[in-house]
Structure 1
Amino acid sequence: MTIKTVSIIGLGALGTMLAKYFSDKLPKDDVRVIASQSRIQKYQKNGIYCNGERYDFNYVLPESEQKPVDLLIFCVKFNQLQQAIEDARQQVGEHTIILSALNGISSEEIIGNTVGMEKMLYCVAQGMDAVKIENKLDYKNMGMLCFGEKDNTVWSEKVTAVAEFFDTLKFPYEVPKDMDHRMWGKFMLNTGVNQTVTVYSTNYGGIQVEGEPRNVMIAAMREVIALSQKVGINLGEADLTYWLDVLATLNPLGIPSMRQDMAASRKTEVGLFSVTAIALGKQYNVPTPINEWLYHNVQELEKDFK
């Protein structure tokens, strides 16, 4: 199994960064960006800029009949996922491998229930500090993709194929032995960071230093640690330290996607974070007062958004 072609759906911060990287390394026709006609026209008219350089990607319509792609990467927001699954159907063949770089812990099963779990690998994007405002993306750290089966003690054929493809392109990645543990760790980070930065209208720098925002962030993360122990994932203080160290590497002026959505008056992905934590807390009788407070404040901030 050899990967030569890749499709990306979703040109937010991560999708744009991946499209740029792959387009710089591969023939243009081997990298497809799936988009509607209206979006393609907008992209072609205004361009997409990455760190000041304009990129004109190889855009394809959802209905385009083409040879199935080898690797398909979902980079949309959670509330766009169902439409994205439909838009990507023509790209999926018998041997297509799919990565979902969405936040949260549920998108792989949602995609797999439609296209087949045998095509899925679990995935987490971490360490990037990209900020995209309209058609302009800026970043200092591109981070990496962590992917694999749930257990990677022995690599599967799919994992090996993606790793070899990334090696060829010198693309940064990691294959953790326990993907459930890594995904819950990223969920813990997002639940603390994204919501706190949004509620306090700050940036990464505002939670990299001691103070109330950082205290709230860590308290929200510790609630996820308590939940993880109820479901058998068993995050601990070592995981908290690991993810705080990841946070410390980010550009202090950067902001997460949730804060970017709030600044643009778009509905956020709060359902992936505090709503999930609160629901699990009720299910397992674990108190989640910090996540409840964060959820209330995010709802207040976006109550007038369409």
Structure 2
Amino acid sequence: MRIAFIGIGALGGYFGGRLAKAGNDVIFIARGAMLEALRKDGLRVESPLGDFALPKVQATGDPTAVGHVDAVFVTTKAWQMTEAAQQIRSMIGPETIVVPLQNGVEAYDQLAAVLGSEHVLEGMCHILAMVTAPGVVRHAGAKALITIGERNNVRTPRLEKLVECLSSAEIDTRVPDNIQVALWEKFEFVASFGAVGAITRAPAGVIRSLPETRSLLENAAREIVGLARATGIPVPSESVVGTMKLVDSAPPNGSSSMQRDLVAGRPSELEAQSGSVVRLGRACNFPTPVHEIIYNSLLPGELRARGKLTF
């Protein structure tokens, strides 16, 4: 397949590298030091599943130069989705499918609004990976999973073709019975852990051991389950137990990317996480007081990181 990855960091580098290694025609759309490194030295992936290097890869900073592709994987930060959607337009042919892999539950709608719902699948991934140097990605855990599905949960030929392509590249791929439930269950963990970690500036070991912060995290997760159900997504209430098990199994010093970005004064995914909870709650008249307090408390720092406030 001819596949483009837009937003080349750890996710795009790892999954795109696997697909290129398997013989697919992969184009990396990158910028800055990453683009320069890919053009000069190619891509190197370090993984417990096996290291590999691709001395020559296709990389460009100009999406309009790519032409039509079979599939586009969007691996930008969630807050870059609107820009990414516009950049993808020139790559869309009659049969092109677009798969977002970011955190959050709004990516499908954001892409469909620009590209048309007929071109978009629901998607997400689970992986622990990081960019250790331009052109070098380190996969730090054995699990690397992509979950995809049609919005209506029908097993279409195009979905099966993409699953086969991913699987042949040694990428674990799952098609759940209900992709929206799967997305919201991941969102429940990511947004709750990210929110509590960001406002407390504490790692997983502290958050889960203090009764006060553990209760805060549980309430944040329950709020998201309630919101999902209010919007018609049948997330089971017992999924909160699963979220807390994930927190309990995390490394004691573990933290979310949103927490790390906010602490470092970088733009974060606040709007796509707690901000999304608050917006969606207001849209369906479902109260979200936990996430609203956290969002309001973190917003000044987020606006400062984006150059919209000075203090």
SS of match in other structure, 2:35: helix
The SS at the match of 2:94 is coil
Deviation string, structure 1 residues 137-161 (Cα, Å, up to 9, x no partner): 4422443111111333x41112111
Structure 1 residues 205 and 133, CA, compared in 2 at 3 Å: closer, same or farther?
farther
User: Is the counterpart of residue 40 in structure 1 residue 38 in structure 2?
Assistant: no
- For 1:279-298, list aligned pairs within 5 A: 279-298=279-298
Partners in 2 of 1:68 and 1:189 — Cα distance? 36
Question: Residues of 2 paired with 1:191 and 1:245: CA distance?
Answer: 15
State the alpha-carbon separation in 1 of the partners of residues 234 and 144 from structure 2. 25
Closer, same or farther in 2 for the Cα pair 1:134/1:244, shift >3 Å? farther
Structure 1 gaps of 5+ residues are: none
Describe the shift of the 1:91–1:285 C-alpha distance in structure 2 as closer, same or farther (beyond 3 A): closer
Q: Is the 8 A contact 2:8 2:29 kept in 1?
A: no
Match of 2:152 in 1: 151
TM-score (norm 2): 0.82
1:160 corresponds in structure 2 to 160
Structure-2 change in CA distance of 1:68 and 1:207 (3 Å): farther
Structure-1-length-normalised TM-score? 0.83
2:199 touches 2:298 (CA, 8 Å); kept in 1? Answer: yes
The 1:157/1:252 distance shift into structure 2, 3 A limit, reads farther
Q: How does 1:1-306 map to 2 (within 5 A)?
A: 4-26=1-23, 30-36=25-31, 40-41=35-36, 44=39, 50-51=45-46, 57-126=57-126, 128-132=127-131, 135=134, 137-138=137-138, 139-152=140-153, 154-207=154-207, 211-247=211-247, 250=250, 252-305=252-305, 306=307
Shift of 1:286: 3.6
Is residue 123–residue 146 contact of structure 1 (8 Å, CA) maintained in 2?
Answer: yes
**Residues 169 and 63 (structure 1), Cα distance of their counterparts in 2 relative to 1, 3 Å cut:** closer
Q: Distance in 1 between matches of 2:259 and 2:288?
A: 22
1:269–1:98: structure 2 CA closer, same or farther, 3 Å change rule? same
Residue pair 2:194, 2:258 contacting (<8 A) in 1 also: yes
Structure 1 residue identity aligned to 2:157: E
Are 2:79 and 2:271, in contact at CA under 8 Å, matched by a contact in 1? Answer: no
Give the CA RMSD over aligned residues: 3.0
Q: Deviations over 1:56-98 (max 9, x none)?
A: 6421232553442212100112322222123223322111121
The number of aligned residues is 299
% identity of equivalent residues: 22
CA spacing shift, 1:200–1:81, aligned 2, 3 Å: same
